[in-house]
Amino acid sequence: MKKTTLILCALLSFGLAFAQPTTNAPVPTKAAADVKSVFSDTYTNIATNYNPNWGQSGFGSVNPTFDPTGGGTNFVLAYPNFNYQGTELTSQSLSNMEFLHVDVWTSANPANSILQVSPINNGTGAGETLVTINHTAGSWYSVDIPKSAFTGMTWDSVFQMKFAANGAGSTVPITIYLDNIYFWKTPVAAGSDANLSDLKVDGTTIAGFSPNTIAYTKGLPAGTTVVPQITSVTTNDTNATQVTTQATAIPGSATVVVTSQNTTVTKTYTVNYVIEGPTTAAPTPPNRPVADVKSIFSNAYAPIAVLNYAGVDGQPSNDNTFNTSWCGANTSLVSILGNDTNKITGLGCEGVAFLSGRFDASTFTYFHMDIWTATPTLDKSFNIKFSNWNGGAGEANAIEFSTTNANFLTNPNPGTWISLDIPLANFLPVVNANRNDLVQFVITSDLGTVYYDNLYLHKNTVLSNSNFELSSFNVYPNPTQNVWNIASKQNITSVVLFDVMGKKVQEVTPNATALELNAAELANGIYFANVTSESGTKVIKLIKN
* CATH code, 171: 2.60.120.430
The answer to whether 490 touches 535, Cβ cutoff 8 Å, is: yes
Cβ-based neighbours of 372, under 8 Å, separated by 6 or more:
277, 278, 282, 415, 416, 417, 418, 450, 451, 452
Q: What would the DSSP string read from start to end of 111-131?
A: TS--EEEEEEESSSB-S---E
State which residues form the domain around 260.
196-275
Query: Do 263 and 324 fall into the same domain?
Result: no
Query: Do 409 and 540 fall into the same domain?
Result: no
Q: Would you say residue 5 lies in a domain?
A: no
How many structural domains are present in the chain?
4
Query: Do 27 and 109 fall into the same domain?
Result: yes
Q: Would you say residue 222 lies in a domain?
A: yes
What is the distance between the alpha carbons of residues 492 and 475, in angstroms, rounded to a whole number? 13
Q: Would you say residue 6 lies in a domain?
A: no
Query: Do 208 and 234 fall into the same domain?
Result: yes
Q: What is the pLDDT, as a whole number, of residue 147? A: 95
- pTM for this model (two decimals): 0.62
Burial 403-426 (b: 16+ CB within 10 A, else e): beeeebbeeeeeeebbebebebee
Query: Do 256 and 135 fall into the same domain?
Result: no
Last residue of a domain, one of 275, 304, 329: 275
Last residue of a domain, one of 403, 433, 458: 458
Closest CA to 50 of 125, 160, 124: 160
Closest CA to 448 of 377, 400, 384, 386: 377
CATH number at residue 252: 2.60.40
Query: Do 366 and 415 fall into the same domain?
Result: yes
Q: How many CB atoms lie within 10 A of CB 179?
A: 26
CATH number at residue 538: 2.60.40.1930
Q: Would you say residue 39 lies in a domain?
A: yes
Query: Do 354 and 408 fall into the same domain?
Result: yes
One digit per residue, the tens of pLDDT, for the chain of length 545 reads: 344 444 444 333 334 445 899 999 999 999 998 999 999 999 999 999 998 877 665 566 899 999 999 888 899 999 988 888 889 999 888 988 999 999 999 999 998 899 999 999 887 788 899 999 999 999 999 999 999 999 989 998 899 999 988 865 555 788 999 999 999 999 888 899 999 999 999 999 998 888 889 999 999 998 888 999 999 999 999 999 999 999 999 999 999 999 999 999 999 999 999 999 999 999 999 888 889 999 999 999 999 999 999 888 778 889 999 999 888 889 999 999 888 999 999 888 999 999 999 999 999 999 999 999 999 999 999 999 999 999 999 999 999 999 998 899 987 778 899 999 999 999 999 999 999 999 999 999 999 999 999 999 999 987 755 455 545 567 888 888 899 988 887 788 888 887 765 677 888 888 888 888 999 989 888 888 878 776 666 778 888 88
Query: Do 440 and 478 fall into the same domain?
Result: no
Q: Would you say residue 345 lies in a domain?
A: yes
What is the distance between the alpha carbons of residues 458 and 366, in angstroms, rounded to a whole number? 5
Q: What would the DSSP string read from start to end of 219-270?
A: EE-TT--SPP-EEEEEESSTT-EEEEE---SSSEEEEEEEE-TTSS-EEEEE
Q: Would you say residue 190 lies in a domain?
A: no
Last residue of a domain, one of 164, 184, 204: 184
Query: Do 454 and 470 fall into the same domain?
Result: no
Query: Do 157 and 206 fall into the same domain?
Result: no
CA distances from 306 to 64, 130, 234, 364 (A): 39, 34, 35, 21
Query: Do 387 and 488 fall into the same domain?
Result: no
Q: Would you say residue 421 lies in a domain?
A: yes
Q: Would you say residue 282 lies in a domain?
A: no
Query: Do 333 and 429 fall into the same domain?
Result: yes
